Amino acid sequence: MGEKLTLFCPTFNRSIRIEARPERLTTDPGAVLLREIMERLGIVSWLAKRITDPRHPELVIHPTRKLLYTLILLCAQGWRDQADADLLRHDPALCLAVSTRKGTSPLSSGGSRGGSQARKPTGLPSQPTLSRLVGWLASEENRRSLREALVELASRRLRAQGRGRLRRLTLDVDSLPVEVHGAQPGSQYHGYYKARIYHPL
């Protein structure tokens, strides 16, 4: 009774231990495993270096990589509404999975904006922050980087499978509508979805 069995230790943050325990501490433990997969693929880091971030560097609270991890992991875990980021703001598994910091510091209480913790907040980025991210990902320059990321990801997968050079590669990409609440720039009403959405493709 009460025995703990360590099942997994992710390489992106070796302070994390995935254990089999009777207590339920989070609803989204899979986020840590998905982050480990993304870390091993390296695609988010690759993309973050190519994304144009219009924010003033001194005012950035959440780095680009953290925003991308948050957006991807929330969708992957079934939390498609960006407002869910506020609901899950302090979920321990998600906080650790999206953070670019090591150790357990993503779980500690953040300081005030004027203190040394000004750019090291706890919790997930807010819904407005994620909406702004989607907005600037929709710029022509960033859409080009997103297209290149798809090709890069596909080529990495093919290389990992040991396939030789291909003469032709077809990527079938389905669009993903992102519902917005309000009149965010770049969003429009879509008759099929009967909602105001971002629809980048």
User: 148 and 100 in one domain?
Assistant: yes
Judge if 75 and 138 occupy the same domain. yes
pLDDT digits (tens, 9 = 90+) for 42-53: 999 999 999 999
Query: How many H-runs (helices) and E-runs (strands) does the chain carry?
Result: 7, 5
Q: How many domains does the chain have?
A: 2
The verdict on 104 and 176 lying in the same domain is no
Give the strand pairing for 5-8 and 18-20.
Answer: antiparallel
pTM over 0.85: no
Q: Name the residue range of residue 29's domain.
A: 6-108+122-170
Question: Do 173 and 147 touch, CB atoms closer than 8 A?
Answer: no
- What dihedral do alpha carbons 188, 184, 201, 74 form, nearest 10°? -130
Average pLDDT over residues 73-100: 86
| 178, part of any domain | yes
Place of tokens 């890069």: 152
Radius of gyration of the chain (CA): 18
**From start to end of 84-164, where are the E strands?**
none
Closest CA to 71 of 149, 131, 147: 131
Both 93 and 145 in a single domain?
A: yes
C-beta of residue 173 within 8 angstroms of C-beta of residue 199: no
Name residues whose C-beta falls within 8 Å of residue 4's C-beta, 6 or more positions apart in sequence.
Answer: 19, 20, 21
Do 51 and 147 lie in one domain? The reply is yes
Q: Which is more confident, 122 or 153? A: 153
Average pLDDT of span 79-106: 84
In a domain, 115, yes or no: no
Highest mean pLDDT among 103-107, 114-118, 137-141: 137-141
Q: Are residues 177 and 101 in the same domain?
A: no
Q: What is the helix (H) or strand (E) element at residue 19, kind and residue range? A: strand 18-20
Rounded average pLDDT over 91-111: 79
- In a domain? residue 114: no
Tell the burial category of 178 from Cβ atoms under 10 Å away from its Cβ (0-12, 13-18, 19+). buried
Please, what sign has the CA dihedral across residues 142, 144, 148, 150? Answer: positive
Q: Can you name the residues that pair with 196 across neighbouring β-strands?
A: 189
Residues 175 and 102 in one domain: no
Q: Same domain for 94 and 183?
A: no
Rounded Cα gap, residues 120 and 60, in angstroms: 10
**pLDDT value at residue 22:** 62
Residue 62 covered by a domain: yes
Query: Is the per-residue pLDDT at 2 higher than 60?
Result: no
DSSP, collapsed to helix, strand or coil, labels residue 187 as coil
Residue 116 lies in a domain: no
Same domain, 186 and 163: no
Residue 134 and residue 195 share a domain: no
